[in-house]
């Protein structure tokens, strides 16, 4: 990959993904550079639909189709508005045999964001995440190329979903005010009697806290399933992925510390907190070399969910995936 194209991609990650950038820097160079490129590609597509005062839907669809064709290698990157990023991604997709299906599923999810702003059930939301998050996790797994890829992929799926759900739970205020979107399942809101008007008016009451507690518990379980598969990754990739999990999950601590109020302000990790978590995670990782043990020692996610007994929880030696 051309060094200028990688630098362009790296700059995009530095500017828009501080948490992910810190974890990426801990990956080996053979994975770090492709990760910059993938992140930049994801952002280029995502920003087509994440503009509060963006172009009309027909124009957004057209822009995404240009990005799709460039990603699939059907048009020259020079025909796009992001030549450096798309040239780097074309090269990456060819080198690492990223499937057309994975690329299409991702772009399809971005297209879905134009037309759909509500999700009735969690399974509906999960179908959206199949493109927006899971396709990303699968691309990362393809680039890392673990020796036990089939065993690693279900856990990569769970971890990718957990990362995106943490973002959704953190960004409830921004999503509804800036984009008119609600990523909390409607069935969860209805079960607790929470209305969209309440979200828009930033009314944090016991019912809304119950919604957040339920969705946080669901996301915590996905972290448990995802982190259980880090051991399948190449050894030099494990710490970077582990740190990303610790950092993303720490938003759960912020949310709980604020009494589940994500409606008046968006919780954000400080640079000091990110660096402290990096140091603490590294220290425990050096002591035991066990990604699960380190995660449960350092992160905001407990080893067992509420009400579970020790035998209910995932054992360190028996990673599982349900779904």
Whether residue 51 is found in the same domain as residue 139: no
Q: What is the mean pLDDT of the chain?
A: 88
Whether residue 54 is found in the same domain as residue 121: no
In tens, the pLDDT along 177-195 reads 999 999 999 999 999 999 9
Whether residue 187 is found in the same domain as residue 60: no
Other beta carbons less than 10 A from residue 148's beta carbon: 11
Whether residue 175 is found in the same domain as residue 35: no
Whether residue 72 is found in the same domain as residue 167: no
pLDDT above 50: residue 168? yes
Residue 315 in domain: no
Q: What is the average per-residue pLDDT within 285-311?
A: 81
Q: Residue 11: which pLDDT band, with cuts at 50, 70 and 90?
A: low
Whether residue 110 is found in the same domain as residue 135: no
Please count the structural domains in the chain.
2
Residue 284 in domain: yes
Whether residue 160 is found in the same domain as residue 291: yes
Residue 316 in domain: no
Whether residue 268 is found in the same domain as residue 278: yes
Q: Residue 232: which pLDDT band, with cuts at 50, 70 and 90?
A: very high
Last residue of a domain, one of 76, 95, 115: 115
Residue 213 in domain: yes
Of all residues in the chain, the percent with pLDDT exceeding 90 is 71
For residue 4, the model assigns a pLDDT of 53
Concatenating the DSSP letter of every residue in 226-248 gives: HHTTGGGS-HHHHHHHHHHHHHH
In tens, the pLDDT along 202-229 reads 999 999 999 999 999 999 999 999 999 9
Q: What is the average per-residue pLDDT within 297-320?
A: 56
Residue 93's CATH number: 1.10.600.10
For residue 217, the model assigns a pLDDT of 97
List the domain range (segments joined by +) for residue 286.
117-304
Whether residue 65 is found in the same domain as residue 171: no
Residue 296 in domain: yes
Q: Residue 18: which pLDDT band, with cuts at 50, 70 and 90?
A: low
Q: Residue 303: which pLDDT band, with cuts at 50, 70 and 90?
A: confident
Whether residue 140 is found in the same domain as residue 88: no
Whether residue 97 is found in the same domain as residue 128: no
pLDDT above 60: residue 47? yes
Last residue of a domain, one of 115, 132, 150: 115
For residue 310, the model assigns a pLDDT of 36
For residue 36, the model assigns a pLDDT of 86
Copy the structure tokens of residue 35.
Answer: 């990760």
Q: What is the average per-residue pLDDT within 135-146?
A: 92
pLDDT above 50: residue 322? no
pLDDT above 60: residue 306? no
Residue 312 in domain: no
Residue 311 in domain: no
Whether residue 89 is found in the same domain as residue 175: no
Sign of CA dihedral 181, 154, 320, 163: negative
Q: Residue 231: which pLDDT band, with cuts at 50, 70 and 90?
A: very high
Residue 64 in domain: yes
Q: Is the pTM of this model over 0.85?
A: yes
């Amino acid at each position: 990959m051309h060094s200028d194209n990688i630098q362009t991609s790296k700059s995009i990650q530095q500017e828009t993904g501080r948490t992910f950038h810190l974890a990426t820097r801990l990956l080996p160079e053979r994975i770090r550079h492709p990760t910059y490129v993938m992140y930049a590609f994801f952002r280029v597509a995502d920003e087509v639909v994440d503009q509060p005062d963006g172009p009309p839907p027909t124009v957004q669809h057209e822009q995404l189709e240009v990005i799709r064709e460039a990603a699939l290698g059907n048009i020259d990157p020079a025909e796009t508005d992001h030549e450096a990023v798309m040239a780097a991604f074309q090269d990456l997709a060819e080198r690492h045999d990223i499937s057309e299906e994975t690329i299409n599923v991702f772009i399809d999810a971005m297209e879905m964001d134009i037309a759909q702003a509500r999700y009735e059930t969690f399974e509906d939301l999960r179908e959206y995440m199949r493109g927006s998050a899971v396709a990303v996790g699968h691309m990362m797994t393809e680039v890392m190329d673990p020796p036990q890829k089939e065993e690693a992929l279900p856990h990569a799926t769970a971890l990718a979903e957990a990362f995106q759900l943490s973002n959704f739970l953190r960004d409830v205020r921004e999503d509804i005010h800036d984009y008119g979107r609600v990523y909390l399942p409607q069935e969860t809101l209805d079960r607790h009697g929470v209305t969209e008007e309440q979200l828009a008016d930033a009314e944090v009451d016991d019912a809304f806290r119950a919604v957040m507690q339920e969705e946080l518990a669901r996301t915590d379980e996905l972290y448990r399933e995802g982190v259980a598969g880090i051991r399948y990754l190449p050894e030099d990739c494990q710490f970077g992925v582990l740190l990303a999990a610790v950092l993303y999950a720490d938003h759960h601590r912020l949310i709980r510390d604020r009494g589940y109020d994500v409606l008046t302000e968006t919780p954000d990790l400080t640079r000091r907190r990110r660096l402290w978590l990096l140091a603490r995670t590294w220290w425990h990782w050096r002591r035991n070399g066990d990604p699960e043990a380190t995660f449960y020692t350092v992160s905001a996610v407990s080893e067992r969910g509420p009400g579970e007994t020790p035998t209910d929880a995932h054992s360190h030696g028996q990673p599982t995936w349900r779904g």
